[in-house]
Chains A and B, each alone.
Chain A
Amino acid sequence: MKKKISKLSNSLITKFILMNSVVFLILISTSFMILYSSQHIKKMLDKTVTKEFSIVLENGEMSRELSRIVSRTTILESTFFGNKELLKEEKSELIKQITDLEKETKNPQVKINLDNFKQKLLICLEQYSELNTLNYKIESAQSQLETTILSLEKVISNKTIDQVLQGENSSILEQLSILTVGYQETLHKINILYTKLCLNHFNSSCTDYETQILDLMDNLLLRIRTLNASEPEISKHAYLIQTNLETYQKYLIEFTNIANELQLQMDEVNLEKEHIFSLLEKIDSEFSESAENMRENASIIIGRASKFVFLLSFVIIVLLTIYSLKFLQTNFVYPMKTIIRRIKSIGSGDLNFKKELKRKDEWGLIEDAINDMASNRKQAETDLQAAIQQLQANEQQLKASNQQLMANEEMLIISEKKYRKLISTSAEGFWMIDAEAKTIDVNDALCKILGVEREEIIGKTPFDFVDEENSKIFKKQIFKSNTTEQRFYEITLKDKNGNSIQTLFNATSQFDSKGNRIGSFAFITDVSKLKQTEEKLKSILRSMDDMVFVLDKNNIFIDVNTHNNNNLYLDPDNFIGKKHSEIIPKHIDDLYNKAIVNVKKGKTEEYEYTLEVADEIHWFALKISPILKDNKFDGSVSVVRDITKRKQIEEQIKKDLKIKTALIQEIYHRTKNNMAVITAMLSMESRRSNNEFVNSTFKEVINKIKSMALVHQKLYKAKDLSNINLREYVEDLLALIIQSYELLSKKIHINYDLQDINILFDSAIPLGLIISELISNIFKHAFPKNQEGEVFIRLYIEDDKTINLEIFDNGVGFPDNFDPRKDGSMGLVSVFSIAENQLKGEISVKSENGLKWHIRIKDDKKKERV
């Protein structure tokens, strides 16, 4: 299928169809592109014109709506005064209209201007509302004023009538009545001026009217104050009129202020209207210009697109023409010319292979056919020449083979001589037999082993030199072997005198080219001595309690020796041929793998392990050594010993030791306690005497017992039960003595320089007695009359293990001609005795600026206990 497709793709017809398809596709693509361009231009123009028109329409609609709003605002300016309901309705309607217009418009600037207009209009409307409220209040004030003046007039009239009826003088009241009429007139004037102010407040400033009204009010107030001095009822009315007038005055001032502000605000509203209208006009003119620009741009784009389409079409046609010409030249003209030229050259005798076209289409097939034709003719000529040459070569080879055959015969004779010499001088026996097992050749070594002459063996079979059992082995080895491979087997031969000789045969069978046995030969080694040695070794191994395992270099068991199979984890036969990791438990195999790394380097390794054998846990010790062959690792020998009993004994010993250690510690502890009891008893006893000598003696004895008890205390804590740390002991002992001489010790300073030295308790106790005696003496005698003093104690060990103890003080020393060995107290004499006789050491003392004691002992008088 693949081949078919390949052939089809290389065909000329396919190429032709392909070319036409390409041309057709290009033309279709060009037409589609032109169509697409015209559609795109059309869409672009439609979009632009529609957009322009919609903007113009929107502007027109907005202008009309805005005009309506402006007209409504203008009407409201004239009608709002005194008409609260109308103002409320118009206000909500106007604001709604402006808000709707804001939402509809898409121009952001218009939106901003409309919003400004709305805000300012809202302020105006608020001021309209405030003016209406103030007007209502002013009208109320007017009405109250009128009512009060009328009431005043009535009061004055009533009083005048009363005075006239009673015959009193009523002239003052009559004058007041005239004044009241004046008040009414002035009030009417004020009301008229206010009405005028209201009617004109949209057209001009209110200030003129306001000034006139306020002047009249001031005048009226001045006149009314004259009534304050009248009768109470009249002065009360006068006060009311004054109050009403002042309220009227306040409202009027507020009214005129708001009216003036309204004027200004209305100017701003009008200004905002103007801004909106001028903005709409500006937008209209900008859109007109934009539409013109769009028209021009569209015509430029259409022009360019037309030129591009024309140019593209031209380029495509030119390229198609070039491609067609090239196609014809490549696929028809050139191959045809080449084929004609090739046919002509073959005709003229040129039979060489020529592949000029290198094509896979029909032209390529024609060229291949022509070349095949030429090469077939050429091959036929070549074969003929080769056959002639082969014939000549065969003749020469025949001559050379003849010569080689002669040379081989000579080599064979030489080889036979060498073989004879080798066999005859070999230390091993040589035995050659034919197909019937008759001896055809032997060497001197074999004759010597058997103790016979060569002639006595030739013609005989090997079975003549063995007993029946070995004869069976021989027959099996000689007649049943079908290979030429070497075979090793042991045979016990019989010599001339009937003695057995143990031998090792290294035999090889011989066969002819058809596989028939033609005989065999063997090299024989006398292994009698070797066998004896092996037997000896085996008997040694059998006599050993230990088990011996032999493993090859691949960790496979090849031999097991044990006198008692009960100790074995498995039966001995189960070990042979198995890998160590296959049959030995993992925890032991891990130990083996760790050890074998060093064994391979030639070292001997040991390890111990536990193993359950016959339902009991056994301990084993294993020693593994390498087997070397040519100084290379070739396997290992493991000697395994059952050490279970030894382990059990060890455990028992450890247990016993622990118990004994505890017991010894208990003895030390009890000894120390007993000594503590003795010191307690002595201390209590000493208290019964007031004699200083007696008490001092008690104290010395107690200190000495304590020094001994301290050794037991140290031993109780000591790890090895026989040695104590001498430095710690001396420090604790001195602390104890110092405490017992509490008062004295405050003036005597003790300096220490002590090394860490371990000492047997046999030496520690006498040394403690010496220290106790010497330090007690220092406290008692060295510093009389409460003198201050220094004591130096130094403990060190020399290289030859000699322990040195030095005790110096800077006290008074011995008296002149004092010999401590003769003249000293019993305690002092005992110090020399202990140091020299018990500790076998040296002791010396110098009395120079105090006493200087130096004791040297060796801690080797007793053997260590543990």
Chain B
Amino acid sequence: MKNKKNILIVEDEVMLSAWLKMQLEDEGYDVCGNFTSGEEAVEFVQNREPDLILMDINLVGKIDGIEAAEKITEKSNIPIIFMTGYEEPEIYERAQRIKPIVFLTKPIEIWDLKPIFESIFS
């Protein structure tokens, strides 16, 4: 029996988040959480550590995805994949400060994620 990897999705668009969850589960991953705000994601990680986080930058709440990722990486080494539709250099530079990191531009398809997941989990 294959040991399923736990993925946390943080995305403000609920439909996109649901679609992503469905596709990840089809590929054999377990989506352990599905949040629209950074605060919720930070709190979740304090109690349970997922194997990987898919983090949108623009989120509901007071902190954005980069700030949420900063708080999470202060206490753990969970790999984080940023997803954003904005391509401003400032956002990219801010996101680059957090490691390990992969930076993906929306729209994101499952075939974009598959090789990255394989690389991380290998």
Q: A residues engaging B (CB < 8 A)?
A: 669, 672-673, 676-677, 679-681, 683-684, 687, 706, 709, 713, 716-717, 736, 739, 742
Contact = CB atoms under 8 A, between A and B. Distances in A.
B92 interface: no
B22 A677 contact: no
A684 B107 contact: no
Given A680-B18, A684-B19, A687-B22, A673 B13 contact: yes
Contacts of B85: 669, 672-673, 716
B63 interface: no
Going nearest first, the 3 A-B pairs with the smallest beta carbon separation are: A680-B19, A677-B15, A680-B15
Contact of A676 (B22, B87, B107, B111): B107
B101 interface: no
A680 B15 CA distance: 6
B107 A706 contact: yes
B99 interface: no
Given A673-B85, A717-B87, A709 B16 contact: no
Given A676-B106, A677-B13, 16 more contacts: A669-B85, A672-B85, A673-B13, A673-B106, A676-B13, A679-B107, A680-B16, A680-B20, A681-B15, A683-B22, A684-B18, A706-B107, A716-B85, A716-B87, A736-B109, A739-B109
A669 B111 contact: no
Interface residues of B, number: 14
Interface in B23-82: none
B110 to A, nearest CB: 9
Chain A, interface SS category? helix
Nearest to A666: B86
Interface of B: 13, 15-16, 18-20, 22, 85-87, 106-107, 109, 111
A368 B18 CA distance: 137
Contacts of B19: 680-681, 683-684
B75 to A, nearest CB: 31
B107 A739 contact: no
B13 to A, nearest CB: 6
A687 B19 CA distance: 11
A709 B15 contact: no
A713 B85 CA distance: 9
26 contacts: A672-B85, A672-B107, A673-B13, A673-B106, A676-B13, A676-B16, A676-B106, A676-B107, A677-B13, A677-B15, A677-B16, A679-B107, A680-B15, A680-B18, A680-B19, A681-B15, A681-B19, A683-B19, A684-B15, A687-B22, A716-B85, A716-B87, A717-B87, A736-B109, A739-B109, A742-B111
A550 to B, nearest CB: 52
A669 B86 contact: yes
A63 B43 CA distance: 117
Contact of A739 (B15, B20, B111): B111
A709 B111 contact: no
Nearest to A736: B109
Nearest to A673: B85
Nearest to B106: A676
Contacts of A736: 109
Contacts of A681: 15, 19
A709 B86 contact: no
Nearest to B86: A669
Nearest to A706: B107
Contacts of B107: 672, 676, 679, 706, 709, 713
Contacts of A680: 13, 15-16, 18-20
B51 to A, nearest CB: 24
Contacts of A677: 13, 15-16
A617 to B, nearest CB: 31
Nearest to A717: B87
Contacts of B13: 673, 676-677, 680
A435 B109 CA distance: 113
A679 B15 CA distance: 9
Contacts of A673: 13, 85, 106
A415 to B, nearest CB: 92
A676 B86 CA distance: 14
B16 A684 contact: no
B91 to A, nearest CB: 13
A553 to B, nearest CB: 54
A235 B3 CA distance: 103
Nearest to A742: B111
